[in-house]
Amino acid sequence: MKTILLLIPLLPLVGAAVSGLLRNHVGRAGAHWVTILAVAGSCLLSFWVLYLQMYEGLETLNYSVYTWMVVEGVTFEVGFLVDHLTSLMMCVVTFVSLMVHIYTIGYMHDDPGYQRFFSYINLFTFAMLMLVMANNFMQLFFGWEAVGLVSYLLIGFWFKKDTAIFANMKAFLVNRVGDFGFLLGIAAVLMTFGSLDYATVFAAAPDAADETISVIGGMEWGLLTFICVCLFIGAMGKSAQAPLHVWLPDSMEGPTPISALIHAATMVTAGIFMVARMSPLFELSDAALSFVMLIGAFTAFFMGLIGVVQNDIKRVVAYSTLSQLGYMTVALGVSAYSAAIFHLMTHAFFKALLFLGAGSVIIAMHHQQDMRYMGGLRKYMPVTWITAWLGTLALVGFPFFAGFYSKDAIIEVVHLSERFGAGVTYWLVVAGVFVTALYSFRLLYLTFHGKEKFEVVEGADPHAHLPDGQLAHKPHESPLVVTIPLILLAIPSVVIGWLTIEPVLFGGWLSDAIHVAEGNDVVAELGHHFHGATAMAIHGVQTVPFWLMLAGFAVATLIWKFRPGIAAAAKSRLSGIYTLLDHKYYFDEFNQKVFANGSVRLGNGLWKKADAGFIDGILVNGSAKLVGKVAALVRRWQTGFLYDYAFSMIIGLIAILGVWVVLR
């Protein structure tokens, strides 16, 4: 079994090395075959581990693979913790990654960086697997930083585009802010418990529940509150929670396959997974949990609103990801860790489906991403259209679809929670249902329905960059390597929630990995009202979220299918709100002016005053000038006449005697 577990992360690593380092030898076909077979092998082995846990009673495995070093009794090692949470994450990561790999053959077919791209996405899969399989904070941090590094490489994959370079640098810098907090949290863990091993830290945590730590200004914080808040700041960066969310929409500058991988199965899910894994620590700090919940509620509602005014098809889906990550974070904040992981799993399938569907549209539209120049694609792309509808119904939470079970469960547990801030959080996540339906159906209508807003220019060069709204040929359905992953992702987007809600949410499947304090278990309380997946779906049509979803559908249908003039009129009459949303609440402008420009001004000031002024001007050049002036003065005394030297000696002796008398 240990060999199987070792192969799961190592196969993608080997695939990345072969396709990247030997790309000129294996060629394009060799690169995709090596990497796809590697991820397929990891996927099959991951499902085999899950099967053994479900039907063969495989116990939790927690062991060291390799000891890196031991420093004053602290062990730094590579180790695996494989429980039900790990196996679930392994299956999600490898399955979605496999679909993205297959899809990439069609999407990146003509790209000169074909082999390099396959190497990167294999490496991405390896990094995420190392993160979710870790049994200690050191390996967690390794995987954490590795997914950040590979995301930087992939967002800026088209490195000749200025916008891509700006986007990957933005992602890198914003995540460094979060990672600084994350590193502080890990350092505080090591300082407090003297170990980086999960089991050791979790076992000792209750004894540190009443300890305090002095922070800025001498303010006393609960030690575990400080640790949890620092760890969550890291999650805010990786899982794009406000205000550290600003990098995620710009990550759309990377190729569409990596957008799907980042948003569905890797990177952004790392923060959610980490907080769930750290539940034994977070359960000891109500203050930290309230902070987590309120940050998630703000992100879920207000980031969703921005999606309503976006015209780039990928950016609409990106802001949807921000909103859904907010729902997961809210679940973590009310101690419903299993509900957060359940939504993470269902979301991975339908969000990957929506991103890959958007990519299929972009291929057909000759890399046009503006929905204002689409429309009427339903008859040209039937498979993409149907799968996009299925993914959308899952996203908005239509009964019996995957998203219904996971998102409605989160709304209900928030309603049951008595944690500080739960009241306002509940109304924000409920209102978010209407917003989600509004931007989701808007995307469908602008893309697949209504009048065709593009023009086919006969005889145009198919490889030329034509003006917006012009195509060299009519759109057509994508090849099988693109549509097959769409179909395979559409299936779990429909059924995975119905199949797994009982064991994952109410059957205690994650109880070996997640700890919930007595009195905080809102999932168990919700379980008293659960009478099966079918009954939940039937009851769902009587709930407020369902009617808000229908209201969002009705408003979107009226405006963007039948009365498009309403949108233009609303844009004019609500210009202030539209401008606020179009500028994304001015987060980017604030960061640019305060942090980016402020850092530049600070750097220029330090350079002019400290470096050029003090160090160069005074210490270096100033000392040289002083020596020169002293030397010029002393040189006048070097006359060569004996009486001048005798006079200087007498003056010096008098000065020495004078100092001696004064000091005496």
Q: Within 591-641, where are the H helices? A: 597-605, 621-635
Same domain as 637, residue 521: no
Domain assignment of residue 634, given as a range: 611-663
The mean per-residue pLDDT over the stretch 231-254 comes to: 91
CA 145, CA 152: separation in Å to the nearest integer?
A: 11
The mean per-residue pLDDT over the stretch 343-363 comes to: 93
Residue 563 has pLDDT above 90, yes or no: no
Which pLDDT score is estimated for 643?
67
The mean per-residue pLDDT over the stretch 128-148 comes to: 94
Per-residue pLDDT of 524-534, as tens digits, reads 999 998 989 99
CA 404, CA 538: separation in Å to the nearest integer?
A: 11
The mean per-residue pLDDT over the stretch 22-33 comes to: 88
Tell me how many domains the chain contains.
2
CA 327, CA 165: separation in Å to the nearest integer?
A: 30
CA 605, CA 175: separation in Å to the nearest integer?
A: 26
Q: Do residues 127 and 147 lie in contact, with contact meaning Cβ atoms separated by under 8 Å?
A: yes
Same domain as 557, residue 616: no
* Residues paired with 81 in a beta bridge: 62
In a domain, 185, yes or no: yes
CA 31, CA 113: separation in Å to the nearest integer?
A: 11
Same domain as 499, residue 378: yes
Which pLDDT score is estimated for 650?
84
In a domain, 595, yes or no: no
Banded pLDDT at 149 (limits 50, 70, 90): very high
**162-181 b/e (C-beta count within 10 Å ≥ 16 → b):** eebeebbebbbebbebbbeb
In a domain, 568, yes or no: no
The mean per-residue pLDDT over the stretch 368-394 comes to: 93
Same domain as 526, residue 651: no
Same domain as 298, residue 395: yes
* Residues paired with 76 in a beta bridge: 69
365: number of Cβ within 10 Å: 21
The mean per-residue pLDDT over the stretch 210-232 comes to: 87
In a domain, 19, yes or no: yes
Which pLDDT score is estimated for 471?
82
Tokens found for residue 194: 């003297």
Which pLDDT score is estimated for 632?
78
DSSP 343-399: HHHHHHHHHHHHHHHHHHHHHHTTT--BGGG---GGGT-HHHHHHHHHHHHHHHT-T
Residue 10 has pLDDT above 80, yes or no: yes
In a domain, 330, yes or no: yes
CA 374, CA 390: separation in Å to the nearest integer?
A: 20
Banded pLDDT at 598 (limits 50, 70, 90): confident
DSSP H or E stretch at residue 246: none
Same domain as 632, residue 517: no
Same domain as 624, residue 510: no
CA dihedral 187, 190, 193, 196 (to 10 degrees): 120
The mean per-residue pLDDT over the stretch 242-265 comes to: 88
In a domain, 584, yes or no: no
Least confident of 14-18, 228-232, 508-512, 598-602: 598-602
Percent of the chain with pLDDT over 90: 62
Least confident of 70-74, 344-348, 429-433, 615-619: 615-619
Which pLDDT score is estimated for 422?
92
Same domain as 186, residue 49: yes
Same domain as 617, residue 555: no
Which pLDDT score is estimated for 345?
94
In a domain, 589, yes or no: no
Same domain as 237, residue 129: yes
Among candidates 43, 156, 160, which has minimal Cα distance to 101? Answer: 43
Least confident of 191-205, 422-436, 647-661: 647-661
Banded pLDDT at 608 (limits 50, 70, 90): confident
Same domain as 482, residue 631: no
In a domain, 62, yes or no: yes
Banded pLDDT at 637 (limits 50, 70, 90): low
Same domain as 176, residue 256: yes
Summary mean pLDDT of the chain: 90
Say what angle helices 84-107 and 480-501 make with each other, to 10 degrees.
160
DSSP 473-501: S---PPPHHHHHHHHHHHHHHHHHHHHHH
**DSSP 3-state of 564:** coil
